[in-house]
Copies of this chain bind each other. A is one copy, B any other.
Amino acid sequence: MKYVLLISYDGTEFSGWQRQPGCRTVQETMELAAEQIFGKKLVLTASGRTDAGVHALGQVAQFQAETTIPAEKLAACFNRSLPPDVRVLKSAAAPEGFDCSRSAKRKTYRYSAYVADAELPLLSRFAVQLPKKLDLERMRKASELLLGRHDFRAFRSSGFTSKTSEREIYDLQISEKVQDGVEKYDVEVTGNGFLYNMVRILCGELFAVGAGKEEGFSKALQTGERKLLSKTMPPKGLCLIKVEYGVPLFGTAEDKDQ
């Protein structure tokens, strides 16, 4: 029987999702919890890896197990064994033929930043500090160039290679709010998938454009040259918000978009 889990984690103290010798990873932490529940080693796979320091509000993972525990009770079983920086929000039996990586249709990431002279202790865990306010109109105009299907090879860090660098971006929203006197920005981007560091590179360029740089998106999309874009943003501002499959995985009305 295949099960699916909806998982949230604070990525600060994790070396990313994927198991690596000598590192504390989300995958290993989840697999150790699974071993306590099922009494044997299992492999958990996720919709995709997240890098060291990247957070997740709604990562989806799966595993095979034989158990009499009702599927929806598995979340609580995991949470009894997990450390506080990772939690299973929901659990369910996987639909027929489902694979949490291959079946994923849309992924949404959010990148968060705030404006301050110094890093703010109450915000700095999940957002990056920017020295000056951004021009959101410039950023929104530039972001329109990214919508649709493009070869995003300029938006990729070396080290990981996907078969193709073509991806489709369905939506990109830039929002601002003022909280406790601090200007905060969220960039939320939905696509059919993202290359290695793509969201962090895309946001680096967007923030640079917001600070006055001429946009490099057009030429980078044409030429595929990484150097036309600004620096890769740090991982701590990034959060995997949701993975959508076109079918509800966790059975309640509020998850109809999962």
Contact = CB atoms under 8 A, between A and B. Distances in A.
Contact of A87 (B76, B87, B88, B118): B118
A91 to B, nearest CB: 11
A174 B121 CA distance: 24
Interface string A169-180: 000000000001
B120 A180 contact: no
A155 B55 CA distance: 38
Contacts of A121: 8-10, 55, 84-87
B10 A180 contact: no
Copies of this chain present: 2
A180 to B, nearest CB: 6
Given A125-B125, A180-B57, A84 B241 contact: no
Interface of A: 8-10, 55, 57, 75-76, 79, 84-89, 116-122, 124-126, 180-181, 239, 241, 254
17 contacts: A8-B120, A8-B121, A9-B121, A10-B121, A10-B125, A55-B121, A57-B180, A75-B118, A76-B117, A84-B119, A85-B121, A87-B119, A88-B118, A89-B117, A89-B120, A122-B126, A181-B254
